[in-house]
Amino acid sequence: MTAAKPAHCRGTELRRAASALCIALAGSWAGSPAAAAPAPAIVSAEDAWVRGTVEGQTGSGAYMRLTAREDAQLIGASSPVAAHVEIHEMRTVNGMMTMRRVDRLALPAHVAVALDHDYHVMFIGLKHQLLPQQVVPITLQIVDGAGRRHAVQIQAPVRALNSVGTAPGAPPGDGKAAPHG
């Protein structure tokens, strides 16, 4: 993975003084585990999971609950299992469910934001079938209040295709895998 260094890190005057910071920022940008190790990630993800697929399906969704340590925004995501990963919002308009990409999702400090229904992570162009017991790495692209970018790595286990989350009308449960898989 190539680390695209923030522009301000290239200045000659700052180079020496801020080299350590630049390395840290670049590492954070690229999501390298070394940079993430000392401080807790800006955003923590809980109960992340990905809906399993059948052979031939090229799309799926990931669900999770995100809590930011400080005001931040989710601006994108990527995963090695899909050509594109987008943050989608669903709305019902005139009885029709519409689904659209959102460029930014606000993550206010210390507020758990659920990506479980109205918002979810959409996988487009799946490269292979997703089966329970697999774990899907997802990189969340986060921007903090100062405009700094952070890459947050999460591991989302695959649940059965017929799993239900906390969507309206879903059978009551704790948001975990459906017991009748």
> Smallest distance, Å, CB 126 to other proteins?
10
What's 17's DSSP letter? Answer: H
Site for other proteins in 35-74 (CB under 8 A): 51, 54-61
Between the CA of residue 8 and those of 3, 14, 23, 113, 152, what are the distances in Å?
A: 14, 8, 12, 31, 22
Our finding on whether 133 is near other proteins (CB under 8 A) is: no
Question: Per rule CB under 8 A, is residue 174 in the interface with other proteins?
Answer: no
Nearer to other proteins, 19 or 58 (CB): 58
User: Is 19 a binder of other proteins (CB under 8 A)?
Assistant: no
By C-beta, is 86 or 144 nearer to other proteins?
86
Tell me, by CB under 8 A, how many residues bind other proteins. Answer: 43
**Quick check: 111 binds other proteins (CB under 8 A)?**
no
Q: Rounded to an integer, what distance in angstroms lies between the CA atom of residue 2 and that of residue 4? A: 6
Alpha-carbon gap, residue 155 to 51, rounded angstroms:
13
Distance CA 42, CA 22 (A): 17
User: Which residues contact other proteins (rule: CB under 8 A)?
Assistant: 51, 54-61, 84, 86, 88, 90, 92-101, 117, 120, 122-125, 160-165, 167-172, 178, 180
